[in-house]
Amino acid sequence: MAGPVVRAVRQTTLASEAMARTDRVAGGGVALAPRMVTIYDVARQAGVAPSTVSRAFSRPGRVNAATAERIRRVADDLGYRANPVARALSTARTNMIAVVILDIANPFFAEIVRGAQAAAAAAGYTVLLADAQESDRLERSALERTVTAVDGIVLAGSRMSDSAIRMISKQKPVVVLNRAVVDAPCVVTDNPRGARLALEHLAALGHEHVTYLAGPEASWADGTRWRSLRESAPALSLRVRRIGPFTPDVPGGVQAAEQFAAAPTSAVVAYNDQLAIGLVRGLAARGIRVPGDVSLIGFDNIAAAELVTPGLTTVAAPLYAQGATATRHVLAMIEGGRGHTGAPAVLPVRLVVRDSTAERHGVGRPRPVGAAAALPMAR
C-alpha cells in the first residue's frame, strides 16, 4: 500500500511549490514553461478528487452537473489545459493519424489532405502530414518515425511495395488511396468509368485515334487507366496507343509533346492534369494548338485545370472525398477494430468538359490551316 503515501508526498510538494512558482512568475523572471497546471491543481482548488476532474473532461455526464460546472470554472481560472501526452500514455491513443503523400508540391494532394483533415478534425483527430518527396527511402523513414506516434495511417500516395505496405498494416490501421493492395483496405476512383467517359466524349467529337500519355510505370492508377482505355476503345470504334512513361508533372508534359509531335493523333488522353498542361505548352511551342489541332483530356481535375488556357477537359476524381473517405475508414478501424479488407471502395468520377476538346478538325466548320492540316494520323 505505498501508492497513497507517494501521492500524499507529491501533493504536499505541489502545494508549496505552486506558491513559490506563482511568486516567481509574478516577479517577472520565468516566462516560458512555468510548470503546467494539472488535474491535481484543479482538484485541490475545487475540493474534489483528481479522478473527478478527469471525468469532468473526458466523460461529461458521468459527473454531477453542479460539480462539473464548478470544476470547469476552476479549471478556467487556473488556465488548465489537458496534457494530450499523458492522456495518450494511459489510453494508448494519441488521437493523431498520419497522412503520407508523395509530394507536397503536387497540387493533386492538396485537396486530398483537406478532406482528410476535415474528416479527422470532425472526429477529434489531428493529422500528421508526412511528405515522402517521391522517395521510397524518405517515405520509410518518415513512417518509421511516425507509426509509433499515431493511431492510424492514410497512404495517399506511396512508392512502397505492396508487401511493405502489408507489413505496416499489421502494426497499425492503414488505408491505401488510389491503389489496390491485396489484404489492405483501399479507396480508389472509378478509373474504368473515367476512361470510358473520356473516350465516349472524344468519339462523339469525331475523333478516331487516341494517344495515351503514360504516367509512372509504378503507378497503379496509370495501369488501370491505360488498361481501361484499351478495353473501352473497340466498342467505340476507336484506336488507342500509348507513349511514355513520362514524369507526371508539367515538364513531363512538355517532354511528351516532343515525342507526340513526331507522330500525332487528333486526340490525347493524359495520365493526369499536370502532364496535360505540360503537353499544351509543348505543343504550343511547335505551333500545334489545343483544341484546334489536338483535343486533350486529363485526369484528376486539379484546381489548375480550370485556370489554364484553354480550360482543361478532365476526368474529375473526387479528391476531397477521397481524403475524407480514406480517413473515415482508418478512424473506423481505430475505433471499431479491423476494416473490411475485401474489395476496394470505389469512388465515382465524372467528366468535366472545358475547352481543350473540340470536334475533330473542326468538322462542319472551315478546316484549319497550318500545322493542323499537315498532321498525319498515326497507325
Partner DNA sequence: GTGAAAGCGCTAACAC
Partner DNA sequence: GTGTTAGCGCTTTCAC
The residues of the shown chain that bind its own copies, judged by CB under 8 A, are 1-3, 5-6, 31-33, 81-86, 88-89, 92, 94, 96, 104-105, 107, 110-111, 113-114, 117, 121, 126-129, 131, 133, 141, 145-149, 170-173, 250-251, 278, 281, 284-285, 303-304, 307, 309, 337-338
Which one of the spans 43-51, 107-115, 204-212, 235-243 is the region binding DNA (CB under 7 A)?
43-51
CA atoms within 13 A on the CB side of 233: 20
Residues 6+ apart with CB under 8 A from 222: 214, 215, 216, 245, 271
Binding of DNA at residue 287 (CB under 7 A)? no
Answer for the pair 204, 182: CB distance below 8 angstroms, yes or no.
no
Using CB under 7 A, pick the residue from 19, 30, 86, 373 that binds DNA: 86
Nearer to DNA, 144 or 258 (CB): 144
Task: Please report the DSSP string for 133-199 in residue order.
Answer: TT-HHHHHHHHHHHHTT-SEEEESS--S-HHHHHHHHHHS-EEEESS--TTS-EEEE-HHHHHHHHH
Distances (CA, A) of 199 to 207, 216, 275, 296: 9, 21, 18, 11
The three cell numbers of residue 59 are: 466523460
Q: Does 89 bind DNA (CB under 7 A)?
A: yes
Shortest distance (Å) from residue 27 CB to DNA: 21
CB of 120 to DNA, least distance (A): 19
Q: In this chain, which stretch among 59-67, 108-116, 184-192, 265-273 interacts with DNA, using CB under 7 A?
A: 59-67
Is there a contact between 276 and 356 (Cβ–Cβ < 8 Å)? yes
Among 34, 47, 234, 370, binds DNA (CB under 7 A): 47
Closest C-alpha among 248, 111, 219 to residue 157: 219
190: phi > 0 → left, psi -120 to 50 → alpha, else beta; which?
beta
| Contact region with DNA (CB under 7 A), list: 45-53, 162-170, 178-186, 246-254 | 45-53
- Supply 98's cell numbers: 498520419
Task: Give the DSSP letter of residue 219.
Answer: -
Between residues 80 and 109, which has the closer beta carbon with respect to DNA?
Answer: 80
Which span sits near DNA by CB under 7 A: 82-90, 179-187, 220-228, 306-314?
Answer: 82-90
C-alpha cell at 364: 462542319
φ, ψ at 112 (rounded to 5°) = -60, -45
Cβ-based nearer residue to DNA, 148 or 237? 148
Q: For residues 47 and 348, which CB has a smaller minimum distance to DNA in the complex?
A: 47
- Build a one-symbol-per-residue string for 62-81: x at contacts with DNA by CB under 7 A, - elsewhere: xxx-xxx-----------xx
As measured in angstroms, the least distance from the Cβ of 119 to DNA is 23
Q: Which of residues 51 and 309 has its CB atom nearest to its own copies in the complex? A: 309
**How far apart, in whole angstroms, are the C-alpha atoms of residue 45 and residue 78?**
9
* Contact residues for DNA, defined by CB under 7 A: 1-4, 6-7, 9-10, 13, 35-36, 38-40, 47-52, 54-55, 57-59, 62-64, 66-68, 80-83, 86-87, 89-92
